[in-house]
Structure 1
Amino acid sequence: MSPSPHLVARGAARPRTLVLLLPGGRPRSTAAAVPFGVAALRMVPFGRAVAGPGVAVWRLRYRYRGWNEPRRHPVADARWALAEAARRHPGVPVVLVGHSMGGRVALHTATEPGVAGVCALAPWIEPPDDALPTDPAVPLLLAHGDRDRVTDPAASARFAAGHGARFVSVPGEGHALLRHYRTWNRLVREFVGALVTP
């Protein structure tokens, strides 16, 4: 039996805004994603940073750890999560926050119905992704540490420039976002806070 995507939900039961956290992963792996893996746990502080009145925070656990081109399993899982958001909370705007592979997932789902903003942290961007569609009405933030050796800061800057998005470079930061964690938490909190429905 194949695994199913899973949502860990916290916060408001009747939200005005929903934040969907998208963790990282691997280029290729059909191993089942684990609930307490490093990638999943990395998203927990961002959930705490954006928690507040009227905000629900959902953390998505993918079926598989890998992106798995051309199947792109986590993109399908994110679309499932967005459909769940629309079913459970009709009309509530969704803000996507993704790290690494999760940032790539967020960019690939940026134009899905209900998405109100996209925050991609150290996103994994490959050249074909430069042609992804974006909606000028949906705020888009890409942030990257300038010492990241896992994903490419220049690719994030190039994507942002090509799509009219905001780009933030975090000096001295690597891929794990731990050296300047307060900066990352603040970036996410401020981005989401500006989009929270009153």
Structure 2
Amino acid sequence: MAQHAPPARGARLGRAAGANGSGSTVSGVVLLLPGASRFPPGPVRPLARALARAGGAQGLVAHAVVHGGDAPREEQAAWAVAETVRRYGDVPVCLAGYGAGGRAALRAAGADAVNSVVALAPSLAGADRDGAPEPVKQLSGRRVLIVHGTNDSRSDPEESFRLAARAKKANRSTCRFEVHSDGHGLREHQAEVVALAVDFVLGSVLSEPYSRPVTDALAAPPPLGLRMPLASGFGRALRR
């Protein structure tokens, strides 16, 4: 009988969206990590719905990670990955987070089952209390997408650029898109941000072809592939 993953002081998985949740039909899982509760939820909810529509027939499942208790968010994210493996077995996992959840997704990426990370407007501290920069070693071997609004006043977009630049040195499968004129909530171009994240997840988790902008961003040397502009209307012409 399968054992439960060790608890993380309050975390739990929300209801599955997408495939029906049977271990025999699930081919990949996206764990959605929300931002700080005092801020609007950003693009997490529409992303969950879009992932279910785009990938459910191919066995993609999305779960929100419901935070609780006092455990660090990255610890709760790591628990969620372990619980996903317990439920679904050896399937690729994408950590997709917004704001504080974006930082948790990046930090928890070292779990063996994680094959990709989507960090939307990640709230990065720049350095910890000891002065060390945000870690990037755990991103090695993962496919990484960072999306940030250039007018974000809550989390500095230059912090995510610097993290992406350090990650790119050891991991070529790293790209970053800038959403010009958008703020922390990524509301002005939410449809484009969601379409970009879905495109990246389907390519990383289900091995579907990436769109040309994502392919170009992954292949481009820094800083080009780390300051890719997200075009207005992205996703309207993509065929899935």
What TM-score do you get using the length of structure 2 for normalisation?
0.70
2: CA distance, partners of 1:162 / 1:132: 7
What is the alpha-carbon root mean square deviation over aligned residues? 2.1
Structure 2 counterpart SS, 1:82: helix
Cα deviation, residue 42, structure 1:
4.4
Q: What is residue 18 of structure 1 aligned with on the other side?
A: 29
2: CA distance, partners of 1:191 / 1:161: 19
8 A Cα contact 1:75 1:109, kept in partner: yes
Indicate whether 1:94 and 2:89 are aligned. Answer: no
2: CA distance, partners of 1:121 / 1:139: 14
1: CA distance, partners of 2:137 / 2:80: 20
| Residue identity matched to 2:46 | P
Q: What is residue 33 of structure 1 aligned with on the other side?
A: none
1: CA distance, partners of 2:62 / 2:175: 23
8 A Cα contact 2:136 2:167, kept in partner: no
Cα deviation, residue 3, structure 1:
6.5
8 A Cα contact 1:63 1:73, kept in partner: no
Cα deviation, residue 158, structure 1:
0.7
1: CA distance, partners of 2:116 / 2:91: 12
Structure 1 counterpart SS, 2:76: helix
Q: Per-residue displacement from partner, 1:119-153 (whole Å, max 9, x unpaired)? A: 10000111234333234321011110000000010
Q: What is residue 122 of structure 2 aligned with on the other side?
A: 123
Match of 1:157 among 157, 161, 165: 161
2: CA distance, partners of 1:82 / 1:131: 19
Q: Aligned pair count? A: 181
Larger Rg: 2
2: CA distance, partners of 1:3 / 1:134: 23
Q: What is residue 189 of structure 1 aligned with on the other side?
A: 198
Cα deviation, residue 77, structure 1:
1.2
Q: Per-residue displacement from partner, 1:158-191 (whole Å, max 9, x unpaired)? A: 1111111211111010001111111111111111
Identity of aligned residues (%): 33
1: CA distance, partners of 2:197 / 2:111: 21
Structure 1 counterpart SS, 2:138: coil
Indicate whether 1:109 and 2:108 are aligned. Answer: yes
Indicate whether 1:140 and 2:144 are aligned. Answer: yes
Structure 2 counterpart SS, 1:131: coil
2: CA distance, partners of 1:126 / 1:188: 23
8 A Cα contact 1:134 1:163, kept in partner: no
Cα deviation, residue 96, structure 1:
0.8
2: CA distance, partners of 1:136 / 1:76: 19
8 A Cα contact 1:63 1:74, kept in partner: no
